[in-house]
Amino acid sequence: MSIHEECGVFGVFSPNQTDVAELVYYGLYALQHRGQEACGIVVNDDGLFYSHKDIGLVGDVFKGSRLKQFPKGNMAVGHVRYGTTGGSARCNCQPIEVNHQKGKMALAHNGNLSNAYELRNKLELTGAIFHTTSDTETIAYIITKERLAAPSIEEAISRSMDIIDGAYSLVLMSPAKMIACRDPYGFRPLCYGKMSDNTYVIASESCALAAVGAEFIRDLLPGEILVFSKNGIESRKEHCNKKPKKTCIFEYIYFARPDSKIDGVSVHKARKKSGHILAECHPVDADVVIGVPDSGLDSALGFSEKSGIPYGIGLIKNKYIGRTFISPGQATRIDQVKIKLSAVEETVSGKRVVLVDDSIVRGTTSGRIVKLLRDAGAKEIHMRVSAPPFLHPCYYGTDIDSEEHLIACKYSVEEITKMIGADSLGYLPKEKLGELIGSMDYCSACFDGEYPTQVMTNIPKNKFEQKISDAK
């Protein structure tokens, strides 16, 4: 498995001067699975902004006394990043900070704009200069431009939402306000909660609210703008119900943590349901069901529940390796799957094994896991995948790549079964995706090519980082 979510966002608005940076730190820790390349925090102390951001995990970037160097404040925003649009350069670390004519702004973004290239091009032709290669700066630029004529920052955001298109869950801070906003399709999750001292917390996932002891209030509606200020909370809904709701179904299958709820649906339950469906659609005689940690485990449990085949712990994941692990020397002689995963011989030896994973991208990892289990003595391996085959790239904030890198675009199920060395292979049928969340309001473009927005298929995701020799 080698798919990455782009980002996680977290914000705190407190009526009291408090250790807001510490709260964001713990919130980002809970969101670390959404991005492991870089992170950052910006604290607002009475209109003055203090920031620190860098490449690395939350615990490394804010280690030692780094967190203590932030002043107390009444607002803060934070971000964890995995770069898709814009690569992993230090300049792309978020939150992005801008000084504009009407003051300051800090912005944290999860998602990808589908019209970023077009917008940035237009802006550059009018003289705009960009300092990063990420589409978040385009959003910041448009908001500050709109702010020139708009009576308030929230009105500037609302006007910007008529211009930008695609996936964006934003947490934004002006000197006096904290603003959360979710795009009209609701591609990426965003929710908020409240702590006992009237501090409000905004997060990509509900698991991060729980981590800081905040009580979940609700998810933001697609298109909603939520403004936190000393006057209270204001919800603006002028962009709600303008577009069909299209929450990313892969959030439930893979990206989100199983203890989160998105739009009222438990991620754990959705994954278990995928296991039920796989057991019904692709039944098999077997002795044990195992899952590939972490996101295949809940689905494996569901498969076991439905089929009556006992659930077992068949693979152990090295807990100290992140999703983006690369060996220091990029050594190719060492099988990296073996560093990440090991088979439990007692569970699989001499057994007919159902192996549940969340997806097959290029097939290389799946093949190595199958081999790992064969080496541990598994007699048969029946692979079940809790997502349909990937057939199209994602333009909404993940790195699901172009067709040429997706194994299902080139080979049939029978061919893939052979290539990964399994005895059988069954995917979750795409017509069944709605059953995972009990609704048809989802995006499944990477499975069916039905993109909810216009997408520029001819623009590479790293367009702004090409070598001179590649540039046209």
- Please list the active-site residues: 7
Number of amino acids touching ligand SF4 (CB under 6 A): 12
**Interface with ligand SF4, residue 398, by CB under 6 A:** yes
Shortest spacing between CB 397 and ligand SF4, in angstroms: 7
By the 10 Å C-beta count (0-12 exposed, 13-18 middle, 19+ buried), 80 is classed as buried
Which listed range, 16-24, 247-255, 277-285, 314-322, lies at the site for ligand SF4 (CB under 6 A)? Answer: 247-255
The 200-203 sheet, strands edge to edge: 48-55, 38-45, 73-81, 7-18, 200-203, 191-194, 215-219
Among candidate residues 120, 152, 122, the one with its CA nearest the CA of residue 137? 120
Phi, psi values for residue 271, rounded to 5°: -70, -40
Nearer to ligand SF4, 92 or 444 (CB): 444
Indicate the residue among 371 and 405 with the shorter CB distance to ligand SF4. Answer: 405
Among 396, 408, 437, 455, interactor with ligand SF4 by CB under 6 A: 396
Q: Which is nearer to ligand SF4, 361 or 400 (CB)?
A: 400
Q: Cβ of residue 394: shortest distance to ligand SF4, in angstroms?
A: 3
d(CA 55, CA 27): 18
Q: Do the bridges between strand 96-100 and strand 225-229 make them parallel or antiparallel, or are there none, so unpaired?
A: unpaired
- Contact at 8 Å (CB) between 287 and 351? yes
- Select 226 or 400, whichever has its Cβ closest to ligand SF4: 400
What are the residues whose beta carbons fall under 8 Å from the beta carbon of 348, sequence distance 6 or more?
A: 288, 290, 312, 314, 373, 376, 377, 378
Q: Which of 267, 400, 416, 428 binds ligand SF4 (CB under 6 A)?
A: 400
Tell me how far, at minimum, the Cβ of 6 lies from ligand SF4, in Å: 10
| Of the candidate residues 117, 446, 455, 461, the single one contacting ligand SF4 (CB under 6 A) | 446
Nearer to ligand SF4, 9 or 20 (CB): 9
Angle, helix 364-375 to helix 413-420, in steps of 10 degrees: 50
Q: Closest distance between ligand SF4 and the C-beta of residue 387, in Å?
A: 9
Q: What is the dihedral of CA 133, 136, 137, 139, to 10 degrees?
A: 140
- Residue 246 CB, shortest distance to ligand SF4, in Å, is 7
**Interface segment toward ligand SF4; rule CB under 6 A; list 301-309, 347-355, 405-413, 443-451:** 443-451
**Can you tell me the distance from the alpha carbon of 306 to that of 94, in angstroms, rounded to the nearest whole number?**
43
Q: Does 249 bind ligand SF4 (CB under 6 A)?
A: yes
Closest of 279, 280, 245 to residue 264, by C-alpha? 245
Cα torsion 159, 181, 171, 59: sign: negative
443 belongs to the binding site for ligand SF4 (CB under 6 A): yes
Round to whole Å and give the CA distance between 443 and 267.
16
CB of 110 to ligand SF4, least distance (A): 11
Nearest distance in Å: CB 255, ligand SF4:
8
354, 394, 407, 416: which one contacts ligand SF4 (CB under 6 A)? 394
361 SS3 class? coil
Tell me which of 7, 116, 207, 248 binds ligand SF4, using CB under 6 A: 248
Piece in contact with ligand SF4 (CB under 6 A), picked from 84-92, 126-134, 379-387, 390-398:
390-398
In 299-405 the beta strands, taken as DSSP E runs, fall at 315-317, 341-343, 352-357, 380-385
Q: How far is the CB of 444 from ligand SF4 (least distance, A)?
A: 5
Choose the stretch contacting ligand SF4; rule: CB under 6 A; options: 57-65, 154-162, 327-335, 438-446.
Answer: 438-446
Q: How far apart are CA 5 and CA 290, in angstroms?
A: 24
Q: For 6-65, where are the E strands, in sequence order?
A: 7-18, 38-45, 48-55
Q: Which stretch binds ligand SF4 (CB under 6 A): 45-53, 117-125, 217-225, 444-452?
A: 444-452
Rounded CA separation 97/178 (Å)? 14
Q: What is the largest CA-CA distance in the chain?
A: 72
| Alpha carbons 371 and 334: distance in angstroms, whole number | 14
Among residues 200, 250, 252, 427, the one that binds ligand SF4 under rule CB under 6 A: 250
Nearer to ligand SF4, 4 or 147 (CB): 4
Q: Applying CB under 6 A, which part among 300-308, 333-341, 351-359, 439-447 lies near ligand SF4? A: 439-447
Residue closer to ligand SF4, measured from CB, 146 or 399: 399
Question: With binding defined as CB under 6 A, does residue 187 bind ligand SF4?
Answer: yes
Shortest Cβ distance from residue 253 to ligand SF4 (Å)?
9
Asked whether the beta carbons of 355 and 376 are under 8 A apart, the reply is no
Query: With respect to ligand SF4, which residue has the nearer C-beta, 396 or 464?
Result: 396
Strand segments (E) across 245-363: 247-248, 261-262, 265-266, 288-291, 315-317, 341-343, 352-357
Closer by beta carbon to ligand SF4, 27 or else 397: 397
Q: Is 445 in the site for ligand SF4 (CB under 6 A)?
A: yes
Among 444, 453, 455, 461, binds ligand SF4 (CB under 6 A): 444
Q: Where along the sequence are the contacts to ligand SF4 (CB under 6 A)?
A: 187, 248-250, 394, 396, 398, 400, 443-446
